[in-house]
A and B are shown apart, each in its own frame.
Chain A
Amino acid sequence: MAIPLSYNLRNLAVRKTTTIMTALGIGLTVAVLVSVLSLLEGLNTAFQSSGHPRHVLVLRKGGGSELSSIIQRSQFLEAIKFRPMVERDAQGEPMASPELVQTVNLPSKEAPDGMNLTVRGVMAVGRAMREETRLAEGRWYAEGRREAVVGSSVANRYPGAQIGQRIRFGRGDWEVVGVFHSDYPARNSEIWLDANQMAADFGRMEAFSSVLVRTQDELATQALINELESDQRLQIEALTEREYFKKQTSSGDVIKYLGTFVAIIMAIGSCFAAMNTMYAAVARRSQEIGTLRVLGFSRRSILLSFFLESLFLSLLGGVVGVLLVLPLNGFSTGVGSFVTFTEIAFQLRMSPGVIGAGLAFALVIGAFGGLFPASNAARKQILTALRQI
């Protein structure tokens, strides 16, 4: 049986100051990593949970994003809308929504100089296809009028996008008449307008940006994608709505790599802090180590005991780190998308997975920091240990 854990825990409590300082050091490192992971988790949640499974987004080949894509009206009518795989609504109309996408620059709370936002021109069919998107406040825009309905994240973060206010773009001012909320978080960073009015304003009567199509079933989804992509005359690409959203998670790559790099550099420092603390503990308790050996505890028990103590110490640091970031859970922020070149608002999300990763990271710091001191403790000769004060 091993040396009782109470021995280690009480020793950590006895040397309070050292324990707290080391735990704080490790905690700050963990806090950096947990912040980054929470951002990424929030971003992933915003994108990866978004998209209808039977929705196919049609873009110009090589366009990559809706913003840089052009689908001709003739292409829409002749090659997309009336395909047999396309689902039809209760009135028998094909569920295919041609849409216009532009950007508008609006000052936000965090960026007074303005951030790009996606403006989407949607027809009635487009709104009907998005059952997950509901009006939260005000009313929907009237067709043929310069009226806009903003997503809930836009309403929260942009003082200039409140109901009753006017947003200037295209050929004039657009009055905000409502706020919508979508179950797909990425959608809430958009501004929706009447597609025809927007087309007139931007002089794009003969071309759309993209087409969103609902298919009859999952087999039809794949069949439609195959047909559209294999038709060389069309020069269009098709992908599921879910894939399109998922691609946008790459917007968090810079945060991920930079944050992880900073966390690793800090972790190296924390490893040395933990190592220093544990070496001091081993030196201070040399006589205890000798006594434990005389009582019959093996070198392995000593190694395990001090190693576990280091893990406890780092775990404490991990908990401190998680607690430091916890108040930011649910905090709204935004990131520029490299796909749409607009800002997508999302919430920091400290999921159990993120917390677990933070604590595991702390344990790794503790393991590296504790291994050498623990091994040093285990290697001590009994008499040498007993004589050291």
Chain B
Amino acid sequence: MSNEPIIRTSDLHKKFVRDEFEVHALTGANLEVHRGEFIALMGPSGSGKSTLLHLIAAMDRPTAGAIEVLGQDIASLSESAVARWRNHHIGFVFQNFNLIPVLTAHENVELPLKLTHLKKGERHQHALTALKLVGLSDRTDHYPRQLSGGQEQRVAIARAIVTDPDLLLCDEPTGNLDARSAQEVLTLLARLNKEHGKTIVMVTHDPHAAHFASKIRHLDKGELLPEGEVPEDWRAAPMASDDKT
């Protein structure tokens, strides 16, 4: 594991205005994630964990503070440059899988490769490899509606890793899955981290899911708590250890 952080946020703030009220979703978050880490961001609803993930993925812009991902100040990139950057470096896994319903599993996985310079045959092979990696090589021609929730999420993970991104960002990846499917998905993510060296940032409020990560960071009311610190409300929760590194 390299000591060079691939995510570095400094005094990161995000403020939303909703119905004339200001909501401080993130207040001065300082986070460092190193290459090869699998970090879980935990916290109750509204704690700002998803906001932090969206800022790392450049899906939103911070109100104040600096954010550097893979050595790039992403806040300074133009809209189109961000799109390209995201395609090259980020794989994103959604809670609701967000597969395109009219495309097959293979076509869904191949979709991000359309933005690369790969030829059709290469794209096809890459997508097959990704589907094989998530154990779905026999479901390539299935449409999302023909797959179970767990299978859908594994296709979504295949789509996220098909471009071989530096960073895998997962937003509640097991939030819509039954226990067995959740276990499969988490095992898969842990394998991607351990065997393929993928750096993963996973947002979850499930302590069991968080245990698959190598490090857990908590957020509370928009504040990223120091390593090892847990929100007061959560202390009674069955979390034996928050920092496994």
Q: Which residues does A use to contact B, with CB under 8 Å?
A: 1-4, 6-7, 10-11, 13-14, 287-288, 290-300, 382-383, 386
Contacts A4-B114, A296-B87, A297-B115 hold; do A14 and B102 have CB atoms under 8 A apart?
A: yes
Q: Which of B141-193 contact A (CB under 8 A)?
A: 159
Contacts A1-B115, A383-B59 hold; do A298 and B102 have CB atoms under 8 A apart?
A: no
Contacting residues, chain A, for B88 (C-beta < 8 A): 296
The answer to whether B100 touches A296 (Cβ under 8 A) is no
The answer to whether B59 touches A295 (Cβ under 8 A) is no
Q: How far is the CB of B84 from chain A (nearest CB, A)?
A: 7
Contacting residues, chain A, for B111 (C-beta < 8 A): 4, 292, 295
Bound Cα distance A294, B112 (Å): 10
Q: Which residues does B use to contact A, with CB under 8 Å?
A: 54, 57, 59-60, 79-80, 83-84, 86-88, 92, 94, 96, 98, 100-103, 107, 111-112, 114-115, 159
**Chain B minimum-CB-distance residue to A11:** B102
Bound Cα distance A10, B108 (Å): 13
**Chain B minimum-CB-distance residue to A290:** B98
The answer to whether B86 touches A294 (Cβ under 8 A) is yes
Q: How far is the CB of B66 from chain A (nearest CB, A)?
A: 20
Contacting residues, chain B, for A11 (C-beta < 8 A): 102
Contacting residues, chain B, for A298 (C-beta < 8 A): 79-80, 83-84
Bound Cα distance A287, B97 (Å): 11
Nearest 4 A-B pairs (CB), nearest first? A296-B87, A10-B102, A291-B98, A1-B114
Bound Cα distance A291, B144 (Å): 15
The answer to whether A10 touches B86 (Cβ under 8 A) is no
**Chain A minimum-CB-distance residue to B113:** A1
**Chain A minimum-CB-distance residue to B112:** A295
- Residue in B83, B98, B107 whose CB lies within 8 Å of A287: B98
- Residue in B57, B79, B80, B102 whose CB lies within 8 Å of A294: B57
The answer to whether B102 touches A7 (Cβ under 8 A) is yes
**Chain B minimum-CB-distance residue to A8:** B102
Contacting residues, chain B, for A295 (C-beta < 8 A): 86-87, 92, 111-112, 115, 159
Besides A4-B103, A295-B87, A295-B92, 16 more A-B contacts (Cβ < 8 Å) are A1-B114, A6-B107, A10-B102, A11-B102, A14-B102, A293-B83, A295-B112, A298-B79, A298-B80, A298-B83, A298-B84, A299-B79, A382-B60, A383-B54, A386-B94, A386-B98
- Residue in A1, A7, A294, A300 whose CB lies within 8 Å of B92: A294
The answer to whether B114 touches A10 (Cβ under 8 A) is no
The answer to whether B60 touches A296 (Cβ under 8 A) is no
Q: How far is the CB of B152 from chain A (nearest CB, A)?
A: 13
Q: How far is the CB of B31 from chain A (nearest CB, A)?
A: 20
Contacting residues, chain A, for B60 (C-beta < 8 A): 382-383
A-B contact pairs, 28 of them (CB 8 A): A1-B114, A3-B114, A4-B111, A6-B103, A10-B103, A11-B102, A287-B96, A287-B98, A291-B94, A291-B100, A292-B111, A293-B59, A294-B92, A295-B87, A295-B111, A295-B112, A295-B115, A296-B84, A296-B112, A297-B115, A298-B84, A300-B80, A382-B59, A382-B60, A383-B59, A383-B60, A386-B94, A386-B98
The answer to whether A7 touches B115 (Cβ under 8 A) is no
Bound Cα distance A295, B94 (Å): 11
Q: How far is the CB of B145 from chain A (nearest CB, A)?
A: 11
**Chain A minimum-CB-distance residue to B54:** A383
Bound Cα distance A384, B98 (Å): 14
Q: How far is the CB of A308 from chain B (nearest CB, A)?
A: 15
**Chain B minimum-CB-distance residue to A12:** B102
Q: How far is the CB of B81 from chain A (nearest CB, A)?
A: 10
Q: How far is the CB of B106 from chain A (nearest CB, A)?
A: 12
Q: How far is the CB of B135 from chain A (nearest CB, A)?
A: 22
Chain A interface SS verdict (over half): helix
Q: How far is the CB of A4 from chain B (nearest CB, A)?
A: 7
Bound Cα distance A292, B86 (Å): 11
- Residue in A10, A288, A290, A296 whose CB lies within 8 Å of B83: A296
Contacting residues, chain B, for A297 (C-beta < 8 A): 83, 115
Identify which of B54, B84, B102, B115 gathers the most chain A CB atoms within 10 Å of its CB: B102
Q: How far is the CB of A385 from chain B (nearest CB, A)?
A: 10
The answer to whether A296 touches B54 (Cβ under 8 A) is no
Q: How far is the CB of B121 from chain A (nearest CB, A)?
A: 15
Q: How far is the CB of B88 from chain A (nearest CB, A)?
A: 8
**Chain B minimum-CB-distance residue to A2:** B114
Bound Cα distance A300, B83 (Å): 11
The answer to whether A294 touches B103 (Cβ under 8 A) is no
Bound Cα distance A3, B112 (Å): 9
Bound Cα distance A382, B60 (Å): 8
Contacting residues, chain A, for B84 (C-beta < 8 A): 296, 298
Q: How far is the CB of A194 from chain B (nearest CB, A)?
A: 74
Contacting residues, chain A, for B159 (C-beta < 8 A): 295
Bound Cα distance A10, B145 (Å): 14
Bound Cα distance A288, B57 (Å): 17
Q: How far is the CB of A282 from chain B (nearest CB, A)?
A: 15
Contacts A291-B94, A383-B59 hold; do A296 and B102 have CB atoms under 8 A apart?
A: no
**Chain B minimum-CB-distance residue to A382:** B59
Bound Cα distance A14, B60 (Å): 32
Q: How far is the CB of B141 from chain A (nearest CB, A)?
A: 13
Q: How far is the CB of A277 from chain B (nearest CB, A)?
A: 16
**Chain B minimum-CB-distance residue to A10:** B102
Contacting residues, chain A, for B100 (C-beta < 8 A): 7, 288, 291-292
Q: How far is the CB of A294 from chain B (nearest CB, A)?
A: 5
Q: How far is the CB of A299 from chain B (nearest CB, A)?
A: 7
Bound Cα distance A296, B88 (Å): 8
Q: How far is the CB of B16 from chain A (nearest CB, A)?
A: 10
Bound Cα distance A2, B83 (Å): 13
The answer to whether A294 touches B114 (Cβ under 8 A) is no
Contacting residues, chain A, for B57 (C-beta < 8 A): 294
Contacting residues, chain A, for B87 (C-beta < 8 A): 295-296
